[in-house]
Amino acid sequence: MAHESAHDRMRLKQMHRFAKTGVVLAVIATGATALLGASGAAGAAVFFLLTAFGCVLAALVGLGFAIADEIRRLPVALRRIVFAVLYFAAAAASMVATVGAASGVAVAP
C-alpha cells in the first residue's frame, strides 16, 4: 500500500469535484423540471439520474488518473481506488432510486 501524498490528495479533490458538479447540475435540472410543471416524481427521477451520472464520471476520472499515474510509475494510494469503487456503488444505488422514482411518474395515454 502506497503512502498518501499531496499528489493523491489533489487527485481525490478532482474526483470529488466531479461528483459535486453532478449534484449541482442535478439540483438545477430538478428546479427546471419543477418550473416546467412536471410532477415531483419526475423531478426526483431527474435528480437521481444526474447524480448517478456525476458519480460515474467521478469514478472514471479517478480510475483514469490512477491508471495514468501507474503508467508514469507514480505511487497510487489505495484510498483513491476505494473512492472510485464507492462512487460506482453510489451510482448504482442512485440508479435504483431513479427506477423507483420513475415508477411513480404517470404516463399519459
Question: Which residue do the cell numbers 458519480 mark?
Answer: 55
pLDDT of residue 69 exceeding 80, the answer is yes
The more confidently predicted of residues 59 and 5 is 59
Q: Is 27 left (phi over 0), alpha (psi -120 to 50) or beta?
A: alpha
pLDDT digit string (tens) for 71-105?
A: 999 988 899 999 999 999 999 999 999 988 888 76
- pLDDT for residue 66: 94
Among 49, 81, 50, 52, CA closest to 64: 81
User: Which pLDDT does position 10 carry in this prediction?
Assistant: 93
Q: What confidence tens digit (pLDDT) does each residue in 24-51 have?
A: 999 999 999 999 998 888 899 999 999 9
Query: Please, which pLDDT band fits residue 108 given cuts at 50, 70 and 90?
Result: low
